[in-house]
């Protein structure tokens, strides 16, 4: 199987590069930037990509590269920081730019570059850099320029080295997928021989080999990731999988009952439900800072989960639904120098008496790939198409201190948001085509720690504000706010204010990621 490897220099978009290459049915793997040339030779990739990153190549301690990698005869593509590092390593110069360049930029192509074959003479790309190459190495040619960047793209035709100062992996770059496709197929000569069906067969075989005759305990949240992980593990080891669902009191309306029905009764998994809402509310008392809340929820989850897991004395493995975005955003077992955005809610740091070995069958997949795996496994679309839900649940959608009363308020507000979205997406009479929402990722309510004055009838009110958040995305690494119809927003607002006692104002969040994140906390 042909493979492209990506050296991770810490860009929040590194996983997107891998995802875009997999879309071409070529397997891609992210490796630490510290990888040696001997290890690269052993992997024998068809091509190497140097990712972007937050550092400057000339600052002390900046991530580097084993120079011998440039002598292996393998095509190399440097992206942003990767281009600057390659230029510096091969004799060019990098310096701070006169102007930083962030966002959409018009780029002009110099003819004769395989990387831009079949593309227009100029198009918009996504720049994100403060430094720039000021002198290219010997043997390199200019492939593209922008108003602020004379070396927006460069190439060494004989060595098959390419550098681009922009990010082709993000949706904001026009023709970005084609640029990566040109590198993978025209430059590297890779074959499109990676399929999810093959991945499933290989993963089930690996799980059987890893687990052997032992048992696995898995924290089941009812979300897509843990659900697909559970079904995949069940396919591999059957009844030796034991699922534990922790009802933390921070779930969506009636979610605990729905999970018990779906997994325990319908799918026939061995399921234990731990009802522990009171413990979580007590742990959250007095906390308002997002990371403090996440950590408190995570610690309590571990305590409750551990109590239940001790009943399964023969379990050697801990199963988790960890996926790629979890890894990159939390730097959990990170493969490069990425910065922590927020900590994620996975089962980690269990007590010493629970010496589980980790089993994470999905950790190299993106959300849409996880859903595709679930479909191949025959899972119901009503489960697979569920919107992502954060591990800490409504604990990070109640902004500020979390109480039972606030959670119940938010549950009722969010229920009405979901009901109105269901009407919109199923309606054939709406003036907006539902095809406009094919990339809809999440729509949910957030309870703000802000009270405002209102009037209902002849009475003054002083109640909470609710925010509605809706985003379009492919993989959660970037996201744009959804242009919901005014009629839908009006219906959500009217129902929340009139039917949920305690909320008298509704606002709509029109922030994109970046710079915002999808969740508020």
Q: Nearest Cα to 340, choosing from 388, 295, 303?
A: 295
Examine the residue annotation and report whether 80 is marked as an active-site residue of this protein. Answer: yes
Q: Which of 2, 7, 31, 29 is nearest to 18 (CA)?
A: 29
Q: Of residues 89, 101, 169, 174, which has the active-site annotation?
A: 169
Q: Give the three-class secondary structure for 105.
A: strand
Backbone angles phi, psi at 177, to 5 degrees: -65, -40
The answer, yes or no, to whether the previous bond of 515 is cis (omega within 30 of 0) is yes
| Residue of 129, 156, 167, 344 marked catalytic | 167
Those residues whose C-beta lies under 8 Å from the C-beta of residue 14, and which sit 6 or more positions away, are: 6, 8, 30, 51, 52, 328, 336, 338
Give the angle 180-182-184 at the CA atoms, nearest 5°.
70
Left if phi > 0, otherwise alpha if psi is -120 to 50, otherwise beta: which for 378?
left
How does DSSP assign 24-35, residue by residue? TT-EEEEEETT-
DSSP one-letter code for 238? G
C-alpha distances (whole Å) from 108 to each of 25, 93, 120 are 30, 22, 9
- Separation of CA 112 from chain center: 36
d(Cα 156, Cα 158) in Å, to the nearest integer?
Answer: 6
Tell me if residue 25 is catalytic.
no
Report, as residue numbers or ranges, the catalytic residues. Answer: 80, 167, 169
């Amino acid at each position: 199987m042909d493979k492209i490897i990506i050296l991770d220099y810490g860009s929040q978009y590194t996983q997107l590069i891998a995802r875009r290459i997999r879309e071409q049915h070529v397997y891609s793997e992210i490796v630490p930037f510290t990888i040696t040339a001997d290890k690269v030779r052993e992997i024998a990739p068809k091509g190497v990509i140097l990712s972007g990153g937050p550092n400057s190549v000339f600052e002390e301690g900046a991530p580097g590269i084993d120079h011998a990698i440039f002598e292996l005869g393998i095509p190399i593509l440097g992206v942003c920081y990767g281009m600057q590092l390659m230029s510096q390593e091969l004799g060019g110069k990098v310096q701070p730019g006169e102007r930083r360049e962030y966002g959409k930029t018009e780029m002009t192509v110099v003819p004769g570059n395989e990387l831009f074959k079949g593309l227009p003479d100029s198009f918009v790309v996504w720049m994100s850099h403060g430094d720039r190459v000021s002198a290219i190495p010997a043997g390199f040619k200019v492939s593209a320029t922008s108003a602020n960047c004379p070396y927006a793209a460069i190439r060494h035709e004989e060595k098959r080295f390419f550098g681009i100062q922009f990010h082709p992996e993000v949706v904001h770059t026009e023709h970005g997928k084609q640029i990566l496709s040109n590198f993978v197929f025209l430059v590297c000569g890779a074959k499109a021989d990676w399929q999810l069906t093959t991945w499933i067969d290989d993963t089930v075989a690996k799980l059987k080999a890893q687990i052997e005759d032992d048992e696995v305990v898995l924290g089941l949240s009812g979300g897509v990731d843990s659900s697909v992980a559970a079904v995949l593990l069940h396919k591999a080891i059957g009844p030796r999988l034991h699922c534990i669902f922790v009802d933390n009191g921070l779930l969506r309306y009636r979610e605990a009952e729905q999970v018990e029905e779906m997994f325990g009764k319908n799918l026939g998994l061995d399921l234990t439900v731990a009802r522990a809402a009171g413990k979580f509310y007590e742990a959250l008392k007095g906390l308002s800072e997002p990371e403090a809340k996440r950590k408190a929820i995570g610690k309590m989850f571990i305590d409750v989960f551990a109590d239940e897991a001790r009943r399964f004395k023969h379990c050697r493995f801990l199963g988790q639904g960890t996926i790629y975005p979890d890894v990159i955003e939390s730097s959990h077992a990170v493969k490069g120098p990425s910065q922590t955005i927020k900590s994620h809610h996975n089962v980690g740091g269990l007590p010493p008496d629970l010496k589980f070995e980790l089993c994470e069958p999905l950790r190299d997949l993106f959300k849409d790939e996880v859903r595709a795996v679930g479909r191949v496994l025959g899972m119901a679309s009503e489960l697979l198409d569920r919107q992502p839900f954060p591990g800490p649940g409504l604990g990070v959608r109640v902004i500020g201190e979390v109480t039972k009363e606030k959670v119940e308020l938010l549950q009722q507000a969010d229920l009405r948001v979901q009901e109105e979205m269901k009407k919109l997406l199923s309606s054939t009479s709406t003036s907006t085509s539902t095809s406009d929402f094919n990339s809809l990722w999440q729509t949910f309510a957030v309870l703000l720690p802000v009270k405002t004055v209102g009037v209902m009838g002849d009475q003054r009110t002083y109640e909470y504000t609710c925010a509605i958040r809706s985003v379009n995305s492919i993989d959660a690494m970037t996201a744009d706010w959804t242009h919901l119809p005014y009629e839908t927003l009006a219906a959500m607002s009217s129902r929340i204010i009139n039917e949920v006692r305690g909320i008298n104002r509704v606002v709509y969040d029109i922030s994109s990621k970046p710079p915002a994140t999808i969740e508020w906390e």
